Amino acid sequence: NAGVMQNPRHLVRRRGQEARLRCSPMKGHSHVYWYRQLPEEGLKFMVYLQKENIIDESGMPKERFSAEFPKEGPSILRIQQVVRGDSAAYFCASSPWRSGGYNEQFFGPGTRLTVL
Amino acid sequence: AQTVTQSQPEMSVQEAETVTLSCTYDTSESDYYLFWYKQPPSRQMILVIRQEAYKQQNATENRFSVNFQKAAKSFSLKISDSQLGDAAMYFCAYITVETSGSRLTFGEGTQLTVNP
């Protein structure tokens, strides 16, 4: 059973370009979370999605960032017109769904974005 | 809002010795989980240990154990018989169970060095 997969593992973009980060959840998981880790900091929540639905995007910057989790295919985190401050490691986690209680999140290896 | 604080940016320990990493948190909720994650240089997030708030017994996983003090909102990690492979960044994290599918809140991390 493959774990959470993220690609690319490393992404280099120039200022003003677009970055697309992909996350394939574990088999059977219908929930995806994105976290950002700035250099020398802990992970910060960005967005929580179910298939075709954004549940909580309270951690997303108001501009340039968007996320989707379509019915088919991976979840995509999209950053438009990247700036140097977007350089970070972006982690995806997935979880199964059980009503009530705690749904364990399994992390992918992360995508390290470098903006030149 | 929940917050997680790790007051030790760096710690070091001699191989085979014991080290304790500190974590405090703030929440008004009564039912939640606490975690310690390990992040080695590969950046993969690895779950080390988990504690349910309503369980009084401290969690233990082999050489890793926690000291959970709910009233004091303290959650420290003890690593016994430290090994070179334990060297990593360690993050304390919190999640509520009062809303299914919640986000993880992380501390800023403690960088652990193990000296041979």
Q: What is the DSSP string of B52-116?
A: ETT--SPPEETTEEEEEETTTTEEEEEE-S--GGG-EEEEEEEEESSSTTPPPEE---EEEEEE-
- What percent of chain B shows pLDDT beyond 90? 81
Confidence of residue B38 (pLDDT cuts 50, 70, 90): very high
Q: Give dist(CA A79, CA A59) in Å, integer.
A: 14
Residue A42 Cα, gap to closest chain B Cα (Å): 4
A31 closest CB neighbour out of B45, B95, B101: B101
What is the residue type of B70?
K
- How distant is the Cα of A30 from the closest Cα of chain B, in angstroms? 11
Q: Is the pLDDT of residue A34 over 80?
A: yes
pLDDT at position A107 is 94
pLDDT per position as a tens digit, A77-91: 999 999 999 999 999
User: What confidence score (pLDDT) does residue A28 get?
Assistant: 87
Percent of the residues in chain B that have a pLDDT greater than 70, as a whole number: 96
- The per-residue pLDDT for B101 is 62
User: For position B113, what pLDDT does the model report?
Assistant: 97
pLDDT digits 0-9 by tens, B48-80: 999 999 888 999 999 999 999 999 999 999 999
Distance from CA of A95 to the nearest CA of B (A): 8
Average pLDDT over residues A62-86: 96
Residue A80 is encoded by which pair of tokens?
Answer: 């438009």
Mean pLDDT of chain A: 92
B100 and A100: CB-CB below 8 Å? yes
- Closest CB from A45, A89, A93 relative to B43: A89
Asked if A21 and A4 touch (Cβ cutoff 8 Å), the reply is: no
Q: Among A42, A95, A102, whose Cβ lies nearest the Cβ of B33?
A: A102
Residues of B with CB under 8 A from a CB of A: 4, 33, 42-45, 91, 95, 97, 100-101, 103-109
